[in-house]
């Protein structure tokens, strides 16, 4: 009986640079990452840069492509970047992930050139229209996507894309380095733009799993939407939406009312067929404004009549506990080859009261020996099998990630993408 074919295991390497000069930062990051790739030529480079590097994004992408030989270089700018167990916030930073994946097909596409999803898709519109544009193949593993939030609305597009992928995850996030339109950087290879978005469909010998950790706590009772139009909630429980909210808030403990002064969030139930709703059962959405005349709530997502909603507040303790629980579950599975981390811009050191919270927790969860930083300082040899998990990512202005079989746009979450070889995954 012939021997089983040897598993093709993708190889990943990550590096972080905090140099202030853009070309030097790109050079340092790519050289460090290449030294960890075992002499292989990468097929894909993911480059995440902070605001101070945006003007030089094209030069940096060209340098990384030239030095690494990567066939595809994807760039996205952010307010902060993540590399290993380090989070760089409000400072120059470059986080780079290289992937050498000979058994994986990498298919880039421009999000802005995807077929438009109709407001009310009719019988002539089918998910295969999007699947073809996204280059979804029968052995599709998942999609990475990075978009400018000012020019790429995803309220209708992302749900349709999720259907097109046939339950495979969509992971990534909105660029976050700019506070006004036209200042972010998103691009493929040397073509860096201030608008639009880039998608990467991955097919073949790879498993991509998404893990979404919430950062909010539900308070007060659940409510049912009884009148709504698109993103305008007019009634809750048969009353004007604002009146119902006032009733609920008036019954809350003082501490929770104080927390609401930092911003009210509204969670909408993902699966209405559950008997009870708990952590992870809601999609968190921001409340944009309240119409004082009509008493309606204007939210940043669509709501429908009959949907269950509940007030949420940002809560660091809940965020810590949820991430820890999800990571504990992942420890029971084979160690991944690499991880991509997309954390909300509202997380980070100001939210947790300490730096590097999410990155450190994720890195340590998958490190079989003491964390890489301490190991390097001790001068000990690092066994390749026990090397720190390659991790790269950024702080996003909205995170994409799966809950169940569908991918959603999130806020206040950490969306984690884990790469495994399918033959070693279970």
Instruction: Give per-residue pLDDT as tens, 388-403.
Output: 899 999 999 999 999 9
| Same structural domain, 122 and 29 | yes
378 vs 260, residue with greater confidence: 260
The per-residue pLDDT for 369 is 58
| Same structural domain, 21 and 70 | yes
The per-residue pLDDT for 381 is 40
Tokens of 327: 């990571």
pLDDT at 34 over 80: yes
| Same structural domain, 17 and 161 | yes
Domain boundary among 314, 341, 376: 314
The per-residue pLDDT for 383 is 43
In a domain, 396, yes or no: yes
The confidence band for 368, taking pLDDT boundaries of 50, 70 and 90, is: low
Give the mean model confidence (pLDDT) for residues 258-279: 88
In a domain, 4, yes or no: no
The per-residue pLDDT for 122 is 64
| Same structural domain, 198 and 224 | no
The confidence band for 379, taking pLDDT boundaries of 50, 70 and 90, is: very low
State the Cα angle at 58 between 56 and 62, rounded to 5°. Answer: 120
Residues 287 and 238: their CA atoms lie apart, in Å, by: 20
In a domain, 92, yes or no: yes
pLDDT at 370 over 70: no
Residues 119 and 159: their CA atoms lie apart, in Å, by: 12
| Same structural domain, 238 and 144 | no
Q: Which domain holds residue 170?
A: 11-213+319-420
In percent, the amount of the chain with pLDDT more than 90 equals: 80
Give the mean model confidence (pLDDT) for residues 362-377: 64
| Same structural domain, 229 and 338 | no
pLDDT at 424 over 70: no
Tokens of 297: 């709530």
pLDDT at 218 over 80: yes
| Same structural domain, 98 and 226 | no
| Same structural domain, 241 and 381 | no
pLDDT at 3 over 90: no
What residues contact residue 39 under an 8 Å CB cut-off, 6+ apart? none
In a domain, 57, yes or no: yes
In a domain, 107, yes or no: yes
Q: Provide the whole-model pTM.
A: 0.90
**Three-class HEC string of the chain:** CCCCCCCCCCEEEEEEECCCCHHHHHHHHHHHHHHCCCCCCCCEEEEEEEHHHHHHHHHHHHHHHHHHCCCEEEEEEECEEEECCEEEECCCCEEEEEEECCCEEEEEEEHHHCCCCCCCCCCCCCHHHHHHHCCCCCCEEEEEEEECCCCCCCCCHHHHHHHHCCCCCEEEEECCCCCCCCCCCEEECCEEECCCEEEEEEEECCEEEEEEECCEEEEEEEEEEEEEECCEEEEECCEEHHHHHHHHHHCCCHHHHHHHCCCCEEEEECCCCCCCCCCCCEEEEEEEEECCCCCCEEECCCCCCCCEEEEEEECHHHHHHHHHHHHHHHHCCCCCCEEEEEEECCCCHHHHCCCCHHHHHHHHHCCCCCCHHHHHHHCCCCCHHHCCCCEEEEEECCEEEEECCEEEEECCCEEEEEEECCCCCC
In a domain, 46, yes or no: yes
**Of 159-173, 224-238, 378-392, which gets the smallest average pLDDT?**
378-392
The confidence band for 262, taking pLDDT boundaries of 50, 70 and 90, is: confident
Q: Which has the closest alpha carbon to 146: 47, 22, 50, 215?
A: 47
pLDDT at 377 over 80: no
The per-residue pLDDT for 275 is 79
Residues 187 and 196: their CA atoms lie apart, in Å, by: 8
Q: Which has the closest alpha carbon to 232: 313, 300, 317?
A: 300
Give the mean model confidence (pLDDT) for residues 224-231: 95
Domain boundary among 314, 329, 364: 314
| Same structural domain, 184 and 243 | no
pLDDT at 386 over 70: no
The per-residue pLDDT for 425 is 54
Q: How many domains are contained in the chain?
A: 2
Give the mean model confidence (pLDDT) for residues 341-368: 94
Output the average pLDDT for the chain: 91
Greatest CA span in the chain, whole angstroms?
A: 78
Domain boundary among 314, 349, 370: 314
In a domain, 425, yes or no: no
| Same structural domain, 240 and 339 | no
10 vs 111, residue with greater confidence: 111
| Same structural domain, 45 and 168 | yes
| Same structural domain, 87 and 46 | yes
In a domain, 304, yes or no: yes
What are the C-alpha distances in Å from 147 to residues 30, 69, 199, 208, 311? 23, 25, 8, 20, 28
Per residue in 103-148, pLDDT tens?
A: 999 999 999 999 988 877 666 667 788 999 999 999 999 999 999 9
Residues 143 and 141: their CA atoms lie apart, in Å, by: 7
């Amino acid at each position: 009986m012939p021997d089983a074919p040897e598993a093709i295991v993708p190889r990943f390497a990550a590096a972080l640079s905090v140099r202030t000069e853009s070309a030097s930062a790109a050079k340092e990051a790519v050289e460090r990452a290449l030294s960890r790739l075992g002499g292989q030529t990468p097929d894909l480079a993911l480059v995440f840069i902070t605001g101070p590097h945006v003007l030089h994004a094209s030069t940096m992408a060209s340098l990384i492509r030239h030095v690494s030989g990567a066939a595809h270089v994807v760039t996205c700018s952010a307010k902060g970047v993540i590399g290993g167990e380090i989070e760089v916030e409000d400072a120059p930073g470059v986080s780079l992930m290289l992937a050498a994946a000979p058994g994986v097909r990498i298919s880039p596409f421009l999000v802005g050139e995807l077929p438009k999803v109709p407001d009310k898709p009719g019988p002539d519109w089918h998910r295969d229209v999007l699947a073809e544009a996204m280059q979804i193949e029968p052995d599709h593993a998942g999609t990475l996507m990075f978009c400018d939030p000012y020019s790429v609305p995803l309220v209708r597009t992302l749900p349709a894309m999720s259907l097109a992928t046939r339950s495979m995850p969509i992971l990534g996030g909105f660029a976050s380095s700019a506070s006004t339109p036209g200042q972010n950087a998103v691009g493929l290879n040397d073509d860096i733009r201030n608008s639009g978005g880039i998608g990467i469909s991955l097919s073949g010998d790879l498993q991509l799993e998404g893990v979404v950790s919430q950062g909010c706590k539900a308070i007060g009772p659940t409510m049912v939407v009884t009148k709504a139009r698109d993103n305008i909630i007019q009634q809750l429980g048969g009353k004007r939406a604002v009146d119902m909210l006032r009733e609920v808030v008036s019954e809350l403990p003082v501490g929770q009312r104080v927390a609401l002064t930092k911003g009210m969030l509204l969670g909408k139930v993902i699966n209405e067929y559950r008997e009870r709703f708990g952590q992870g059962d809601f999609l968190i959405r921001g409340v944009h404004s309240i119409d004082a005349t009509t008493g309606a709530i204007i939210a940043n997502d669509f709501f429908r009549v009959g949907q269950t909603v509940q007030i949420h507040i940002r809560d660091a303790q809940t965020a810590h506990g949820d991430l820890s629980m999800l990571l504990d579950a992942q420890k029971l599975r084979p160690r991944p080859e690499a991880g991509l981390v997309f954390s909300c811009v509202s997380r980070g050191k100001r939210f947790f009261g300490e730096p590097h919270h999410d990155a450190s927790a994720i890195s340590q969860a998958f490190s079989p020996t003491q964390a890489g930083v301490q190991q390097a300082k001790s001068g000990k040899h690092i066994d390749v099998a026990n090397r720190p998990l390659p991790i790269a990512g950024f702080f996003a202005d909205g995170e994409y990630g799966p809950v169940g079989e569908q991918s959603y746009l999130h806020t206040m979450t950490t969306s984690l993408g884990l790469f495994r070889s399918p033959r070693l995954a279970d």
